[in-house]
Structure 1
Amino acid sequence: MEIFSARRDMGSLAVIENLRPIGLINRDIFMSQMSKPFHRELYDKKSCIAFMDKEPLIVDADESIETLAFRTVEAGEKALVDGFIVTRGGRFAGVGSGLELVSAVAEMQAEKNRQIMQSIEYASVIQRAMLRASDEALAMHLPGAALQWEPRDVVGGDFYHFAAFPHGWFGAIADCTGHGVPGAFMTLLASASLSQALEQMGPRDPAALLSAVNRNVKGLLGQVNSAPGEARSNDGLDTAFLWFDTRENVLHFAGARIALHILRPDAAEFETLAADRMGVGYVDSHADYAWNLHSVAVPPGSLLFICTDGLTDQIGGPRSISFGRRRALDVIREHRAEPAAALCERLRLTLADWQTLQPRRDDVTFFCVRL
């Protein structure tokens, strides 16, 4: 009682025998018991062993904070409330506080989070640098185009690729598995595969390019020649590839679970070129699969629209339902006379109003161009 009375900050007191700890006395429990009637008369002359926890958490001074945290959790609430005994070579070295341990763990976790966020923010710089060439191609060669790319997190799993060639331009919108850091890794892999295929095959056959990217992604992820259940990665991407021949005004399109929508100048509704229901990569995608190629004449003044499912699947509205493809197409159709940049901005604002307080579910990418 003299020690606890003198040290108001002391939550627990170790009991030592021959320099080795044998128990721990909790201040609050001890003081509560000693305040009861006749307790001091009964216990003043007895050993303090009567008040101690005989099985306290005892840790070595060389243990790491992480190990100590795990052991404290395993020991249960008692170790957080009473604290723990610290030893060196089996001999008493001090008493640790559960509150101080929580504070130390929180500080370590905060530092780790800072380091992780710094790494992710720099990864964002790398991802945006990967897209810069496409941004420049859009600005220089497709002045009638607009694109919205919004990762759900600092980095994302959507990417795009645009490039100008003699007598036409190539475009791709892709949605890779996942979002955040895993999705961003997939965009680097898939974008590199597409760049390699374009260099080897050229841009004029989007279906053949899809097949080449599919084979390359499956090979890189170890999905080829793997027995069922042995593939380490069941990842891939949904994507739309298109080549527009500016001499003939003919659009060539191939899609892997992402469709292309066309609004002709004299049409009341969008025409949809359906995508194949086969993803690129993934364990269940066939390595020799051949995507369908759609080739259609498109008159000047037509609008093209492509989006990833982050747009259509976003929950919101008064009934908390998906935004949907029809709602997105209606926004563009109703304001079809406006420039593509204005249409994308209208669509972005409509999505924000729809989402309200709902969390963002996925990365969002959509592309609109007036030919």
Structure 2
Amino acid sequence: MPAQFNASRGSLPRFRQPSAADLCVVATAITSEETNQAVLDVFNDQRELISLPVVENGRPIGLINRNIFMSQMSKPFHRELYGKKSCIAFMDKEPLIAEANLGIESLTFRAVEYGEKALADGFIITRDGQYAGVGHGLQLMRVVADMQAEKNRQIMHSIDYASVIQRATLQVSRAALAETLTDASLVWEPRDVVGGDFYHFARFADGWFAAIADCTGHGVPGAFMTLISSSMLAQAIERNNPRDPAHLMGLVSRGIKQMLGQTAERSELAESNDGLDAAFMWFDNATQTLTFAGARTALYLLYPDAPQIEMIEGDRAGVGYVDSNADHQWTNRVLPLTPNTLLFVTTDGLVDQIGGRKQIAFGKRRIRDAIVARRHQSTTQITDDLLIELANWQVDETRRDDLTCLCVRIGGTQP
């Protein structure tokens, strides 16, 4: 037995796709030979009846709307003039007629095409062309709303679980960071449930490697890009030298271009133009030097005795994009670091956030000023205060992008 629609509760069976049959309500119908007086009698007897189907040899040919019919018959002399005439005089000859097996989505599209009358008058449901019953516009809207709510629930459930997976993949790097550096703070705040930023941290016998990256998009599309990009980076580190960040960046770029068909040979056919902006870093324990390679991402350095932050800009080429040359070689910048040097990198979710009285970007200057003012505090306190300052800047503005930042104080990498 097929599942039935519960009109009183507006609920739908979950084990199959609903159709017009789930909305079918057995209702009185009259034949085309019946008079308008007969129609009047039916409407008077059945006060809840919104419309009355008209059939001919069992097949529906029209629909009589109660309000229109009663309005016409209440006019002076209309009952005397039309009472004995065929009921087709006030019949809508082109009502919405749907087969019982028609899916709800298709039925909804057809109802929209028919306009308001399909929602106000309802529609006729047939089985093999024979009259079966009627459906009401309000029921249809309830069913559509229930279906949409269920789809949204399933989508959100999937996204929530995707968030669990994304956080789990990042947790390994976060744990390695905590085990390696005594004073380091990592912030990862996706704009939505899942995000397009990722980080990577790996500890080695002679140093450590760190990466902060901002992939194209945010939400689900951005999260897909983080999975692709982070797996490319992990493979590049495993198979190559983590001590050469620029070389790793080139490997990741070529891998993304190849996987997404964004190579020069296929650029005109590419359906996407995705990639990432990133900062890759290698710190050597023996020499106390940092090797930095940036793709449209800057490195902030505050030396212990320096009055201001030094900002090292990355290359202007993004990683993996269609317009990024496959043979582009990013630049390694080797920087000697002294104990208590502060290192800070961030994605543009912090820099580009709109706010303040003039509704402008948060900007790099505020980041530099905030770090200098808190240079003697722990890195956790620095990032916490930065987020507070960002929130005060943002106020009622919506978050524009994902936000990821890493703050490290150099001075003893083994806890």
Is 1:193 the counterpart of 2:218? The answer is no
Alignment-derived partner of residue 213 in structure 2: 174
> Aligned partners of 1:224 and 1:45: how far apart in 2?
78
Alignment-derived partner of residue 104 in structure 1: 143
**1:233 partner amino acid:** S
* TM-score, normalisation: structure 2: 0.87
Alignment-derived partner of residue 226 in structure 1: 265
1:296 pairs with one of 335, 341, 348: 335
> Aligned partners of 1:2 and 1:269: how far apart in 2?
91
Unaligned runs of 5+ in 2: 1-39, 411-415
Is 1:255 the counterpart of 2:294? The answer is yes
Is 1:349 the counterpart of 2:398? The answer is no
Q: Is 1:174–1:237's contact at 8 Å kept on the other side of the alignment? A: yes
Q: Is 1:158–1:364's contact at 8 Å kept on the other side of the alignment? A: yes
Deviations 1:311-333 (A, max 9, x none): 11111222222111212222222
**2:190 partner amino acid:** P
Unaligned runs of 5+ in 1: none
Do the aligned partners of residues 103 and 210 (structure 1) sit closer, same or farther apart at CA in structure 2, a change above 3 Å counting?
same
Alignment-derived partner of residue 21 in structure 2: none
* 1:138 shift after superposition: 1.3
Alignment-derived partner of residue 162 in structure 1: 201
> Aligned partners of 1:150 and 1:312: how far apart in 2?
14
Alignment-derived partner of residue 282 in structure 1: 321
> Aligned partners of 1:39 and 1:339: how far apart in 2?
90
Q: Is 2:260–2:272's contact at 8 Å kept on the other side of the alignment? A: yes
Aligned runs of 1:1-371 on 2, under 5 Å? 1-371=40-410
* 1:228 shift after superposition: 4.1
* 1:133 shift after superposition: 0.8
* TM-score, normalisation: structure 1: 0.97
Do the aligned partners of residues 22 and 302 (structure 1) sit closer, same or farther apart at CA in structure 2, a change above 3 Å counting?
same
Deviations 1:287-342 (A, max 9, x none): 11100110111111111111111111111222222111212222222111110001
CA RMSD of aligned residues (A): 1.4
Q: Is 1:174–1:238's contact at 8 Å kept on the other side of the alignment? A: yes
Deviations 1:50-79 (A, max 9, x none): 111111111110111111111111222221
Task: Return 42-51 or 294-303, whichever deviates more.
Answer: 42-51
**1:219 partner amino acid:** Q
Aligned residues: 371
Q: Is 2:264–2:322's contact at 8 Å kept on the other side of the alignment? A: no
SS class of match (2:265): coil
Q: Is 1:12–1:95's contact at 8 Å kept on the other side of the alignment? A: no
> Aligned partners of 1:50 and 1:84: how far apart in 2?
19
* 1:31 shift after superposition: 2.5
Deviations 1:120-143 (A, max 9, x none): 111111111110111101111112
**1:354 partner amino acid:** W
**2:185 partner amino acid:** A
